[in-house]
Amino acid sequence: MAGEALRIDLGTVADAAGSATVFYDGSSVSVACRLEAARRDGLTIDCEVEAASFDAPQINGDDVARALKSCLAPGGPKAFIKLRAVILNSGRGELAAACMAASLALCDADIPLRGLCGGGCVELGEGALALVATAEGVVASRVDGAGDTAAALDEALGAAAEARGRMRAALVERLSSG
């Protein structure tokens, strides 16, 4: 559930166009967004994921970039967007935390989005179901273990919707205090 397990810090990397750190379900991920001049082919997102510890991250940059591309507003800026995600602490919420932090970093950099990527992670038998969703549906997921996936999916979608609400509230608070 998003509830107490979700913490959001915006503007965490001073020299980035936008940045955010998300703490979710045992994971913490910091994402910095940098923009480069427009390219002929229009908007491009490149995401690099690395771990701050010796553990290899359980996700890769393509997972995060693919989820974010579905959130970008049509006709957005013609720019090369470079995202650098650092997994500060690994846990089962790594995918959700990375996508939420990246989505928030894009908002912090004033990149127009159709909606935020919210994350949900729930227990599934011996493992977990982690997903990232917009209001329109699931954009990324990972299943470890077996169990009642229908019930877990409903619960994870509810957690993602709650997370999007908390993310919007954090952005509104940042705008009103800045």
CATH for 14:
3.30.230.70
The Cα 168–Cα 150 span in angstroms is 27
The answer to whether residue 36 sits within a structural domain is: yes
**Residue 38, pLDDT score:** 65
The conformation of residue 136, written as its DSSP 8-state character, comes to T
Domain count of the chain? 1
**Residue 2, pLDDT score:** 42
Q: Write down the pTM of the prediction.
A: 0.86
Contacts with 97 (C-beta within 8 Å, 6 or more apart), sequence order: 22, 23, 24, 25, 27, 28, 29, 119
The Cα 143–Cα 123 span in angstroms is 10
**Residue 151, pLDDT score:** 81
Average pLDDT over residues 78-103: 87
The answer to whether residue 50 sits within a structural domain is: yes
Q: Predicted confidence band at 41 (pLDDT cuts at 50, 70, 90)?
A: low
Is pLDDT of 76 > 70? no
- 159: domain range? 6-177
- Is residue 130 within 8 A of residue 96, CB to CB? The reply is yes
Is pLDDT of 73 > 60? yes
**Residue 13, pLDDT score:** 94
Average pLDDT, whole number, for the chain?
83
- Is residue 152 within 8 A of residue 141, CB to CB? The reply is no
The answer to whether residue 145 sits within a structural domain is: yes
The answer to whether residue 1 sits within a structural domain is: no
- Is residue 60 within 8 A of residue 87, CB to CB? The reply is no
Average pLDDT over residues 2-20: 85
| CA distances, 66 to each of 61, 70, 72, 173 (Å) | 8, 7, 11, 28
- Is residue 128 within 8 A of residue 144, CB to CB? The reply is yes
Is pLDDT of 127 > 80? no
Is pLDDT of 3 > 60? no
